[in-house]
Amino acid sequence: MQIITTQKALRETVSALKELNKTIGLVPTMGALHQGHASLVRRCVAGNDVTFVSVFVNPTQFNNKEDLVKYPRNLQADAELLTDMGVDFVFAPTPEEMYTAEEMNQTFAFDFGGLDQVMEGKYRPGHFNGVVQIVSKLFRLVQPNRAYFGEKDYQQLAIIHRMVEVMHMDVQICDCPIVREQTGLALSSRNQRLTEQQRTTAQNIARVLFESRQLTQSQTVQQVQSWVIEQINRIDGLTVEYYEIVDQTTLQPVSDFSHAIGCVTVYCGDVRLIDNIKY
Ligand code: PAF
**What residues contact residue 114 under an 8 Å CB cut-off, 6+ apart?**
250, 251, 252
193: which DSSP letter?
Answer: G
Q: 225-252 pLDDT, tens per residue?
A: 999 999 999 999 999 999 999 999 999 9
Amino acid at residue number 82: L
Residue 105: predicted pLDDT: 79
Q: Is the pLDDT of residue 106 over 80?
A: no
Tell me which of 9-18, 67-76, 142-151, 179-188 is least confident: 67-76
Q: Is the pLDDT of residue 112 over 90?
A: no
Name which residue sits closest to atom 6 of ligand 1, judged by CA: 29
Judging by DSSP bridges, how do beta strands 89-91 and 2-4 pair with one another?
Answer: parallel
Q: Which residues line ligand 1 (CB under 6 A)?
A: 28-30, 58, 61, 131, 134-135, 153, 156
Can you tell me the distance from the alpha carbon of 53 to that of 261, in angstroms, rounded to the nearest whole number? Answer: 29
Hey, which residues does 176 pair with through a beta bridge?
A: 150
Tell me how long the chain is. Answer: 279
pLDDT-above-90 percentage for the chain = 89
- Tell me which H or E stretch contains 159: helix 154-166
Can you tell me the distance from the alpha carbon of 187 to that of 151, in angstroms, rounded to the nearest whole number? Answer: 11
Name which residue sits closest to atom 8 of ligand 1, judged by CA: 29
Model pTM above 0.85: yes
Largest CA distance in the chain: 59
Hey, which residues does 264 pair with through a beta bridge?
A: 243, 275
Q: 65-88 pLDDT, tens per residue?
A: 898 999 999 999 999 999 999 999
Q: Is the pLDDT of residue 113 over 90?
A: no
Closest C-alpha to 141, from 176, 189, 97, 106: 97
Distance 216 CA to ligand 1 centre (A): 32
CA 77 to chain CA centroid, Å, is: 20
